[in-house]
Amino acid sequence: MIKDLLQNISHKYASKWLVMLFDLMIVALTFVAAYIIRFNFQMDFDFVVMFKQIPFVFLAALISFLLVGSHKGVVRFTGFKDVVNIIIGVNILATTLIISTFFSRRFNYESIFNISGSIIYIHLLLNILFLVGFKLFIKSMYNKLMQDFKTVKRILIFGAGNSGMITYDAITNDPKSNHQIIGFIDDNERKIGKKINTLTVYSLDKITPRFIDKYGVEEVIISIQNIESARLLQISGQLFELGLKVKIVPPVQNWIDGDLSVGQIKEVNIEDLLGRDPISITNPALIDEYENQIILITGAAGSIGSEIARKAANYDFKKLILLDTAESPLYDLQQEFVQKGIKNFTAIVADVRDFRRMEQLFQLHKPKIVFHAAAYKHVPLMENNPYEAVSVNIGGTRHMASLSVKHGVNKFVLISTDKAVNPTNVMGATKRIAELYVNCLQGKGNTKFITTRFGNVLGSNGSVIPLFKRQIENGGPLTVTHKDITRYFMTISEACQLVLEAATMGNGGEIFVFDMGESVKIYDLAKNMIILSGLRYPEDIDIKITGLRPGEKIYEELLADGENTRPTYHEKIMIAKTKSIDILTISDKISNLCMVNSKSQNLEIVSLIKDIIPEYISNNSKYEVLDSKK
């Protein structure tokens, strides 16, 4: 019953005029107290004059509080800004009394306007003490009563700086919060052992299993602005091993209207543990680049293609053409755009391998910017199906690029991969040949050919993250092909930002790569995902080493032998300086390769691929026999 009563109270708020009345009563009482203190607690002052002055003080206080709006605050949520408002209000009151006293003495007004300066200053201090104290007392009592009737989660805040204090205020001022902050953690030795708001600041080493059991800690909120990813990974890993839940405060630029709310504090996710800062691209030139343009995106239903489409839809394009063979995902994207109210787009089910169909689309829609994301990307599947890899990754690119030249497309952007660098598998080699083909076409028309080359995309279809999530849901184990295998990672959003930026800055013939930081060890990624899921490794879920798959590398590269980079205006984006190639010879070899048919033997097809890409050396694959013949 008491709990229900408290819940009813929690949904009701005192009238602002009732709050004003209480404040004015406190001002009147402190005025009497100021007189008593001024005369050393001896009642030898003129009571009649004092009681005549109270209505004047009452009126002056009313005007002062109305000016600052201190009565509008909800008492139970009193915060720093409310305290400042009260202090400003009582200072306006004191100033008003001083001015009235000055003029009263100068022009011999009635004594009710003539108040001793010492009484005014004593009154000011008492007002600050009692008005602020009263509100904080009500807030404290309310929070105490509410906490007694709900399950409390004991937490620590990592970071005893400004961001940590803001987080502390956001949590303590949230009426719905069931968090009880029991202390802070900080790396600064000068802060360790000291108290903030009566709470102790601990070092990270102090947080032990014994400490956690003693204080019942369940969660740590990391509140450090611009924390390095490597440090975040180190802190999170240490806390995860202690069985603690870890959350993180977002960057200040993401706070709503500059204020942090408890709802914005999110759990640490795998993107936060990439070991590098997120790539951020803000370029006003993109608006001009895509305004009033006809944009064609192949592979539009895929992870990358669909995100490019979403980002392109933010610009004032003339027409957006979404092309893919995957009917159901394309339908889902179409419905998403319809629900968002995006207009002037067309979803087309078609195959980039069908040259005549592609030419019809170019003639009908006349695109001016082409993002070519259509490709087969799974290494093991393409290792067993080289004909399909050639027909889509090379043949499809050949069709789209050639038609772009023929129909006067302004820019053609090829979505490539780091697996094209010194390839060890069919998929990577076919993507490298696609890069070479568009390079051969550069300068043969007005079309500018641009290549973007990046690593693995978090959360994309078939990537390791969704695989690990499914394996965790099924109870494990997580499968990793090699304990030392590493990969570069980026988010889908980052990848597509790079693609759009490359299309803007590219003048044709460039291969754009970007600084992806340190490569991530997949074994460590698997362990972190287990812990992020609230489970223990290896007690709850183990990791199984399955051995390298055919064509799989232990380490990926972003640059080929003989390539280096030159910078662009964005520090994270670079242009690969590629080796010069014999365009006529390469073009002839690619044409010959594209003439293979489904009846051709796999070894024959891969042999032709290796003839074009001498650096293609198979790894853990049946095609290694071709390398031994070189």
pLDDT at 6: 45
Distance CA 75, CA 13 (A): 9
Average pLDDT, the chain: 84
Beta strands at 573-577 and 266-267: parallel, antiparallel or unpaired: unpaired
Considering 7-16, 62-71, 600-609, the range whose residues carry the highest mean pLDDT is 600-609
Of 115-129, 187-201, 263-277, 517-531, the poorest mean pLDDT is in 263-277
Asked, for residue 575, whether it belongs to a domain, the answer is: yes
The structural domain count of the chain equals 3
Same domain? 124 vs 232: no
The percentage of residues in the chain with a pLDDT greater than 70, rounded to a whole number, is: 85
Domain of residue 139, residue span: 2-146
Same domain? 247 vs 380: no
Say if residue 77's pLDDT is above 70. Answer: no
- 553 or 353, higher pLDDT: 353
Distance CA 160, CA 171 (A): 15
Tell me the DSSP string of 155-224: EEEE--SHHHHHHHHHHHT-TT--EEEEEEE-S-TTTTT-EETTEEEE-GGG--HHHHHHHTEEEEEE--
- 407 or 11, higher pLDDT: 407
Distance CA 390, CA 121 (A): 87
pLDDT at 555: 73
Q: What CATH code is carried by the domain that includes residue 170?
A: 3.40.50.720
Same domain? 264 vs 315: no
Asked, for residue 279, whether it belongs to a domain, the answer is: no
Between CA 523 and CA 530, with CA 528 as vertex, the angle to 5 degrees is 100
Distance CA 135, CA 622 (A): 77
Considering 50-64, 109-123, 410-424, the range whose residues carry the highest mean pLDDT is 410-424
Residue 274, φ and ψ in degrees, nearest 5? -75, -15
Report which secondary-structure segment, H or E, holds 95: helix 80-107
pTM over 0.95: no
Asked, for residue 280, whether it belongs to a domain, the answer is: no
The pLDDT tens digits for 492-508 are 877 788 788 888 888 88
Say if residue 486's pLDDT is above 50. Answer: yes
Q: Which amino acid is at 514?
A: F
Same domain? 234 vs 318: no
- Per residue in 50-77, is it b (16+ CB within 10 Å) or e — as a string? beebeebbeebbbebbeebebbebbbbb
pLDDT at 271: 64
Same domain? 140 vs 160: no
Q: Can you state the angle between helices 602-612 and 583-593, rounded to 10 degrees?
A: 170
pLDDT at 427: 96
Asked, for residue 440, whether it belongs to a domain, the answer is: yes
The token pair that represents 369 in the structure block: 């910017």
> Of 199, 233, 268, which one is at a domain's C-terminal end?
268
Distance CA 624, CA 29 (A): 94
Same domain? 95 vs 183: no
Asked, for residue 276, whether it belongs to a domain, the answer is: no
The pLDDT tens digits for 141-184 are 766 666 555 567 889 999 988 888 888 888 877 766 778 889 99
Same domain? 241 vs 373: no
Considering 75-79, 513-517, 587-591, the range whose residues carry the highest mean pLDDT is 587-591
Half-sphere exposure of 401 (CA within 13 A, CB side): 31
> Of 268, 293, 313, which one is at a domain's C-terminal end?
268
Q: Which residues pair with 42 in a beta bridge?
A: none
Taking a C-beta distance cutoff of 8 angstroms, is the pair 490, 303 a contact? Answer: no
- Per residue in 503-534, is it b (16+ CB within 10 Å) or e — as a string? bbbbebbbbbbbebbebbbbbbbbbbbbbbee
Q: Which whole number is the average pLDDT over 58-65? A: 88
Same domain? 522 vs 600: yes
Same domain? 132 vs 165: no
For residue 460, what pLDDT band results from cuts at 50, 70 and 90?
low
In the set 419, 448, 527, 553, the catalytic residue is: 419
Among this protein's residues, is 411 annotated catalytic? no
Same domain? 38 vs 137: yes
The pLDDT tens digits for 174-225 are 766 778 889 999 988 899 999 988 899 999 999 999 999 998 898 898 888 7
> Of 95, 117, 146, which one is at a domain's C-terminal end?
146
Same domain? 11 vs 80: yes
Same domain? 21 vs 57: yes
Asked, for residue 19, whether it belongs to a domain, the answer is: yes
DSSP H helices, 350-416, are 355-365, 379-384, 386-389, 397-406
Asked, for residue 467, whether it belongs to a domain, the answer is: yes
Asked, for residue 505, whether it belongs to a domain, the answer is: yes
